Structure 1
Amino acid sequence: MSEVFEGYERQYCELSANLLKKCTSASLLGGEQKKQKVSEIKSGLDAAESLIRKMDLEARNLQPNVKAVLLAKLREYKSDLNNLKNEVKRIASSNFNQAARDELLESGMPDSLTVSADQRARLLMSTERLNKSSDRIRDSRSTMLETEDLGVSILQDLHQQRQSLLHANNTLYGVDDNMSRSKKILTAMSRRMSRNKWIIGAVIVVILVAVILILYFKLSK
């Protein structure tokens, strides 16, 4: 795993959690305060997008097996960033004109309580949606870490298998060398045996000739 990527990843997770909190607080504000908070969130989104680009660039420069795991993480982070952007758009679009809101409050319309109830319901829904997004990010991160550990374990097993195969290959080479030497020794022994047979045969012939000659000379006398 790349330490550079992990550094960017930690920064992004911290920034994402901070942006979720700001989105929740921005939903409870109005007027200029909400505009200012939305502006801060947008700046944070730009920083988060920059971190994702850096992580993407770092991941693509790594080995294929590690790159695949990191790119899967990036897809989750990009999805999380898109959810944050959509939430910011929703918050910004709900920031209606302050004067109209004041006029509505001053008019004392009977359904003003209904409007407030609807706003509270939307805020509760937004908070719940943000909490679910945060939970999904944590779950996705946990899944990615488990996948990463599994990938590392598989790579270690493959490395051990490769070492075993190399050891077996070296053993086979050693056996082949021993067989070659044994074959040479057997060939040399076979040649010596053949040579000894010819020598013994020649000695027997000489002895027989000598015996015949001795008998011949004795009989001739």
Structure 2
Amino acid sequence: MSEVFEGYERQYCEISANLSRKCTSAAALDGEQKKQKVSEIKNGLDEAESLIRKMDLEARSLPPNVKAVLLAKLREYKSDLNNLKTEVKRLVSGNLNASARDQLLESGMADALTASNDQRSRLLFSTERLNHSGDRIKESRRTMLETEELGVSILSDLSSQRQSLLHAHNTLHGVDDNIGKSKRVLTSMARRISRNKWTVGIIIAVLVIAIILILYFKLSK
């Protein structure tokens, strides 16, 4: 929530409550006292309207989710300001005689003030509700930031694990190459052993045949 907007909001609520009290007291005055009081009320209305414009500009400069909450508040404040202006118009609407003024105070003004008080009560309720909505938005934003940080941490861990897997894959590839080389060496050795076996077998066969021939010639003599 904007601190600037909240500052304007506090000022407006103070001015609105003060203007409401002045309207109530001005209704019972006559002549110059009433004119002076009405003049003070009009100055207060100008100040309240200036604060409304400042709140509007501040709200529209904020992110959409915050802006929507503040503009909803602002609509309530504008409605409250319009009610105050209506009360002032009734105060300056004409030269009423004492009985007419008393009747107005007893009926119309009382109704207007009651309506204004009801409106102000609704305004305070709406403000409280919107403040709760703002708190929920803050909580949601904090949760979102925590989730984002967790996601970044998980991605960092996954990246580290990926590097470890790539390193392990390269290591296994090197081991596989070494196994292939060893297999080729063993195959070559097996072939040599096989050839040596045949060579030894042939030599033994030749020796056996030679011994047999020698024995044959000796025995034949």
TM bin, normalised by shorter chain, reads: 0.7 to 0.9
Q: What letter matches 1:133 in structure 2?
A: S
Aligned match of 2:204: 211
Aligned match of 1:52: 59
Counterpart mapping for 1:7-26 below 5 A: 9-26=2-19
Aligned match of 2:84: 91
Alpha-carbon distance change, 214 to 128 in structure 1, aligned in 2, over 3 angstroms: same
**How far apart are 1:199 and its partner, in Å?**
1.3
| Of 125, 139, 143, the match for 2:136 | 143
Aligned match of 1:65: none
The DSSP-based 3-state class of the residue aligned with 1:48 is helix
| Of 41, 49, 58, the match for 1:34 | 41
Alpha-carbon distance change, 104 to 194 in structure 1, aligned in 2, over 3 angstroms: farther
Matches of 2:65 and 2:101 in 1, distance apart?
54
Gaps of 5+ in 2: 24-37, 215-221
Aligned-pair Cα RMSD in Å = 2.6
**How far apart are 1:17 and its partner, in Å?**
2.4
Alpha-carbon distance change, 114 to 90 in structure 1, aligned in 2, over 3 angstroms: closer
Aligned match of 2:182: 189
Matches of 1:176 and 1:99 in 2, distance apart?
90
Alpha-carbon distance change, 51 to 108 in structure 1, aligned in 2, over 3 angstroms: closer
**Greater mean deviation of Cα atoms: 135-144 or 35-44:** 135-144
Q: Check the 8 A contact 2:83/2:116 in 1, yes or no.
A: no
**Greater mean deviation of Cα atoms: 106-115 or 135-144:** 106-115
Q: C-alpha offsets along residues 101-139 of structure 1, whole Å, 9 cap, x if unaligned?
A: 652436565564233432442342233123213312321
**How far apart are 1:36 and its partner, in Å?**
0.9
Between the two proteins, the alignment pairs up a number of residues equal to 200
Give 1 or 2 for the bigger CA radius of gyration.
2
Aligned match of 1:132: 125
Alpha-carbon distance change, 186 to 17 in structure 1, aligned in 2, over 3 angstroms: same
**How far apart are 1:76 and its partner, in Å?**
0.3
The DSSP-based 3-state class of the residue aligned with 2:88 is coil
Residue 176 in structure 1 maps to residue 169 in structure 2 = yes
Matches of 1:38 and 1:133 in 2, distance apart?
22
Q: C-alpha offsets along residues 146-187 of structure 1, whole Å, 9 cap, x if unaligned?
A: 111221222123223323332332333233223322321221
Aligned match of 1:103: 96
Q: What letter matches 1:39 in structure 2?
A: D
**How far apart are 1:217 and its partner, in Å?**
5.2
**How far apart are 1:89 and its partner, in Å?**
1.9
Q: What letter matches 1:50 in structure 2?
A: L
Q: What letter matches 2:155 in structure 1?
A: R
Residue 152 in structure 1 maps to residue 145 in structure 2 = yes
Matches of 2:122 and 2:199 in 1, distance apart?
114
Matches of 2:199 and 2:188 in 1, distance apart?
17
Aligned match of 1:63: none
Alpha-carbon distance change, 210 to 121 in structure 1, aligned in 2, over 3 angstroms: same
Matches of 1:53 and 1:112 in 2, distance apart?
40
Question: What TM-score do the two structures reach when normalised by structure 1?
Answer: 0.76
The DSSP-based 3-state class of the residue aligned with 1:103 is coil
Question: What TM-score do the two structures reach when normalised by structure 2?
Answer: 0.76
**How far apart are 1:209 and its partner, in Å?**
3.5
